[in-house]
Structure 1
Amino acid sequence: MADATDVSVLYVNDDRDLRELVARRLEREDDRLAVRTAESVDAAERLRSRHDVDCIVSDHHMSGRTGLDYLRSVRANDDGVPFVLFTETGDEEVASEAISAGVTDYVIHRAIGDPSPLLARKVLSAVDHERTRRRIDRTARQLRSVAEATDDALWIFSADWRELQFVNSAYESVFGQPVEEVRAEPRSFLDQVHREDVDRVERAMGRASNGEHVRIEYRVNASAELQSWVESRCIPLTDEGGSVDLISGFSRDVSDRKYYEASLVEKNEQLERFASTVAHDLRNPLNVADGNVDLVREEADDPRLETSARALAKMDDLIEDLLALAKEGAAIDEPSPVAFESLVRSASEGLLSEEALEVVGSGTIRCDPVRTGEALENLFRNALDHGGESVTVTTGVLEAGNGFYVEDDGPGIPPSEREAVFERGHTTSEHGTGLGLAIVDQIVTAHGWEVEVVAGSDGGARFEIRGSGLDPADDADSGPTAPGS
């Protein structure tokens, strides 16, 4: 099998001496060229039926069918093989007709001199160009097949969104508009966007045109019985000068996720309302019981009353934790930047003295400050429950800069219990409800973060929280402070 760089040439001429001379000269000119010869158009067609040919070089003036006749028959079969008309005499009419018929090149064979260097260059250039075109076409077909295998609408627009360079057929299923319409009028996809979302989508398009990577969710097919939600991501592509030249991206139907999220929000709200109602109904008899125990304790000194008082206090803590647990699993919609040290100090108020708390590092974190503060409070209470009033707590920035930690110098948590501590009802303290760390886990998960328990530097417990938006190394001066600080 010939190497991919070899070039097979078919030379057609009814003059045997000239045919043999040109073939020898071409092969001598460049060792990549391998020349087969034919004495007529009919012989050339028979030879091509048996062998692959990269380029045809043909004389024009031949008995029977001419070189121009051969060119026309090749092109009539939609054959793009390079075709060089190589003839002894120049004829403007023949040259014009050859160009109209799709000739690759036209070379005049002078009576004196060696034309093989020029002819070899013409042949090699034509073949290289054709091979490159075929590779590009093959790659384009492969990319189109990949693009058509996805349910996402893939597209490429000009920087001003007025020209559509590419779109796949999935566009119609996502936007409910025929592909032909958006090809004819690229900005017509905005007609499919819910009128209340059009301004927001156009602003996002403007940001992408200015070089910003954009992700946006919006409604489409508003006239349909059940409107759809679409997520689009835009990636600006710049030219050599750094200006935005094209905007590529994809759009996908996220209706199922949006409706699931809405259902989840509704269920969380129902759960919170139910928990509030139950808590209210429980607190009334609890207050009565607690008040009567206090009255009796004023009249009698019975250790069983002290036990009952502690049990009632634990019930009150349990109700508070259940209320918190009912609301802390809801997803965080719009986190805001909060000063890290301020958030920590605010959460420790009333729990830890200044001497018992050390804050290492500063910066901002993007979070729900109220709920993140509750998580920190529960971690501080956990340290106090297990380490006592003399416990020291250190909180700071992780070395990788992707989160923060809360560490105490208490007794620590054995490796075998480190995963179980986040389970509801798990506690090793006689004062605990078993829900404090479960609430921490709920809040962390709602932010899209992760929490891990490891051993502290002094043998105590160390809780490490990592995730997107946790970058306390950033400058905190411009961020808001935590509530209550």
Structure 2
Amino acid sequence: MADSRDIAVLYVNDNAELLELVSRQLTNDSDRLSVVTAESADRGREILDSETIDCILSDYHMPDRTGIDFLRGVREDYPDIPFLLFTETGNETVASEGIEAGVTDYVIQETIGNQAPLLVDKIVTYVEHRRSQQVIKETNKQLREIVGVADQAFWVFSPDWSELRFINDGHEAIFGQSIENIRADPQSFLDQVHPGDIDRVTLAMERASAGKSQLVQYRINKSGTVEIWAESRCKPVTNQSGNVVSLVGITRDITDRKMNQQELVEKIDQLEEFTSTVAHDLRNPLNVADGNIRMAAMEYESRQLETALAAVSRMDTLIEELLTLAKDGELIGDRNHIEFAEVVTTSYENVRAPGSSLEVTGSMLLDCDSARLSQAFENIIRNAVEHGSSDASLTAGVLSEERGVYIEDDGPGISAAKRDRIFDKGYTTHKDGSGFGLAIVDRIISGHSWEIDVTEGETGGARFEVRVAD
């Protein structure tokens, strides 16, 4: 089988001696070339129609048809095949006719000397260019076929959104707007966006034009009555100078996802209502028991009464933590930007451990539900005080390259064997522990789509590292 890099050349010339000579010179100069010869334009056309030819080399002066006549016939059926005129005659008329007929190049035959190197260089260059263009064309065709059947909208805009450079049929399925309309007015898709979301979408467009990748969710008023949810991702493409040259993106219908989220919210609300009711029903008799035990303890000194009071207190703690766990930390409320130093300091103050200390060595901006995150940090700090000592020294800071944040203590630490279980519900190493504190931490962190891990701190204590999403 021939190498795919081989090049088949058709050489047409009515001079048999030149056919033999030039063919031999070409093949001697390059082992990539194989030459098929024809002594007339008609015979050349027969060969072209029956064999795979990559390039045509033709003389101009031939008795039946000139090289230009041959070229015109070839261009009707082979518009992009490289065609070189190689003739001893050179004048402006021939050159002009050749260009008009679509000649690829024009080479004057020297009387003496070997021009094979020049011809080989031109043939190889033109054939490889044609092949690369064919690959690009085929690739583009396949890509268009792929995105043409996709249920997502793929698009490419100019940096200022004034020019639509590419879009597939998925746009019409999502926006209910024809491709012709958006091509005529590239920003007309904004007419379909819900009025309440216009500002958010246009802000994302401005940020993308400034070179920042964007992810935005918004509503679309489809067909005037049907409302759907869409999500668009945009990636600015820049040149070597850092200037934005195009905006590439994808838009998908996320209505089902939003509906599922809404159903989940409703279920969570029902669960919270149920657990709150149960907790209320439990606390009433628990308060009665606590009050009576305390009254009895005022009249009688008894270790059994002290034990009963401790048990009642632990039951109250269990109820509180079960309520928190029932809220499911995977469901996070509204997120806002807050400094890590601020939220961890507030969390420490809420724990009220007067004998301990906290040193914050660094800070970064976190996109979070600050109330839930503060709750998670409180549990980590409380865990350090309860499992270490009341005078624990805590340090909080930022991980390298701002990949996240950490809180560590100077206590006894957590052994490697126990680290895999530390976030399991019900797992505790403290006799009075509920086993829910760190499980709640894990839920809240996961709800932010972050990751948490426990390792050893600089002084051997426990170090909790929270790696935030990029």
Q: Same fold (TM over 0.5)?
A: yes
Is 1:403–2:398 an aligned residue pair? no
Structure possessing the higher relative contact order (Cα contacts under 8 Å, 6 or more residues apart)? 1
Cα offset, 1:291, TM superposition: 2.1
- 210-219 vs 121-130, which deviates more? 121-130
Cα distance change, pair 385–92 in 1 and its aligned pair in 2 (3 A):
closer
Partner SS for 1:186: coil
- Alignment match, 1:452: 453
For residues 37 and 239 of structure 1, what CA distance do their matches in structure 2 show? 47
- Alignment match, 2:369: 368
> 1:448·1:467 contact (CA, 8 Å) conserved in 2?
no
Amino acid paired to 1:77: D
Partner SS for 1:196: helix
Cα distance change, pair 307–253 in 1 and its aligned pair in 2 (3 A):
same
- Alignment match, 2:440: 439
- Alignment match, 1:418: 419
- Alignment match, 2:199: 199
- Alignment match, 1:480: none
- Alignment match, 1:268: 268
> 2:351·2:381 contact (CA, 8 Å) conserved in 1?
no
Amino acid paired to 1:283: R
Cα distance change, pair 327–143 in 1 and its aligned pair in 2 (3 A):
same
- 11-20 vs 152-161, which deviates more? 11-20
CA offset digits 1:295-315 (Å, max 9, x no partner): 233333344333332222222
Cα distance change, pair 28–458 in 1 and its aligned pair in 2 (3 A):
closer
> 1:201·1:216 contact (CA, 8 Å) conserved in 2?
yes
Cα distance change, pair 195–350 in 1 and its aligned pair in 2 (3 A):
closer
For residues 31 and 134 of structure 1, what CA distance do their matches in structure 2 show? 23
- Alignment match, 1:288: 288
Partner SS for 1:159: coil
Cα distance change, pair 332–10 in 1 and its aligned pair in 2 (3 A):
same
For residues 42 and 63 of structure 2, what CA distance do their matches in structure 1 show? 11
- 188-197 vs 145-154, which deviates more? 145-154
For residues 108 and 340 of structure 2, what CA distance do their matches in structure 1 show? 81
Cα distance change, pair 437–108 in 1 and its aligned pair in 2 (3 A):
closer
- Alignment match, 2:334: 333
- Alignment match, 1:380: 381
1:201-280 to 2 correspondence within 5 Å? Answer: 201-223=201-223, 227-280=227-280
For residues 126 and 300 of structure 2, what CA distance do their matches in structure 1 show? 111
For residues 234 and 459 of structure 1, what CA distance do their matches in structure 2 show? 45
Amino acid paired to 2:233: R
Cα distance change, pair 433–27 in 1 and its aligned pair in 2 (3 A):
closer
For residues 458 and 123 of structure 1, what CA distance do their matches in structure 2 show? 73
Cα offset, 1:404, TM superposition: 0.1
Cα distance change, pair 114–370 in 1 and its aligned pair in 2 (3 A):
same
For residues 90 and 455 of structure 2, what CA distance do their matches in structure 1 show? 88
> 1:153·1:167 contact (CA, 8 Å) conserved in 2?
yes
For residues 42 and 164 of structure 2, what CA distance do their matches in structure 1 show? 47
- Alignment match, 2:348: 347
> 2:387·2:430 contact (CA, 8 Å) conserved in 1?
yes
Cα offset, 1:155, TM superposition: 1.6
Amino acid paired to 1:75: R
For residues 450 and 100 of structure 1, what CA distance do their matches in structure 2 show? 67
For residues 196 and 341 of structure 2, what CA distance do their matches in structure 1 show? 37
> 2:176·2:223 contact (CA, 8 Å) conserved in 1?
no
For residues 274 and 14 of structure 1, what CA distance do their matches in structure 2 show? 98
Amino acid paired to 2:442: D
For residues 319 and 372 of structure 1, what CA distance do their matches in structure 2 show? 20
Cα distance change, pair 406–42 in 1 and its aligned pair in 2 (3 A):
same
For residues 445 and 70 of structure 2, what CA distance do their matches in structure 1 show? 76
> 1:413·1:455 contact (CA, 8 Å) conserved in 2?
yes
Partner SS for 2:187: helix
Is 1:157–2:157 an aligned residue pair? yes
CA offset digits 1:8-63 (Å, max 9, x no partner): 32221223244344445555676765433211233223433564322212234434
Amino acid paired to 1:327: K
- Alignment match, 1:474: none
Partner SS for 1:80: coil
Structure 1 unaligned residues grouped into runs of 5+? 471-485
Identical aligned residues as a percent: 45
Cα distance change, pair 451–59 in 1 and its aligned pair in 2 (3 A):
closer
Amino acid paired to 1:407: D
Partner SS for 1:227: strand
TM-score when normalising by structure 2: 0.84
For residues 58 and 320 of structure 1, what CA distance do their matches in structure 2 show? 92
TM-score when normalising by structure 1: 0.82
Cα offset, 1:191, TM superposition: 2.8
- 101-110 vs 158-167, which deviates more? 101-110
Cα distance change, pair 257–79 in 1 and its aligned pair in 2 (3 A):
same
For residues 99 and 145 of structure 1, what CA distance do their matches in structure 2 show? 35
Cα offset, 1:186, TM superposition: 2.2
Amino acid paired to 1:395: T
Partner SS for 1:249: strand
Amino acid paired to 2:334: D
CA offset digits 1:222-273 (Å, max 9, x no partner): 4476532222122222344433221112222222322222222232233333
Partner SS for 1:422: coil
Amino acid paired to 2:300: A
Amino acid paired to 1:323: L
Cα offset, 1:342, TM superposition: 6.5
- Alignment match, 1:73: 73
Amino acid paired to 2:361: G
> 1:449·1:465 contact (CA, 8 Å) conserved in 2?
no
Amino acid paired to 1:169: D
1:136-155 to 2 correspondence within 5 Å? Answer: 136-145=136-145, 147-148=147-148, 150-155=150-155
- Alignment match, 1:133: 133
Cα offset, 1:139, TM superposition: 3.8
Cα distance change, pair 124–420 in 1 and its aligned pair in 2 (3 A):
closer
Partner SS for 2:298: helix
> 1:27·1:33 contact (CA, 8 Å) conserved in 2?
yes
- 365-374 vs 137-146, which deviates more? 137-146
Amino acid paired to 1:52: T
- Alignment match, 1:473: none
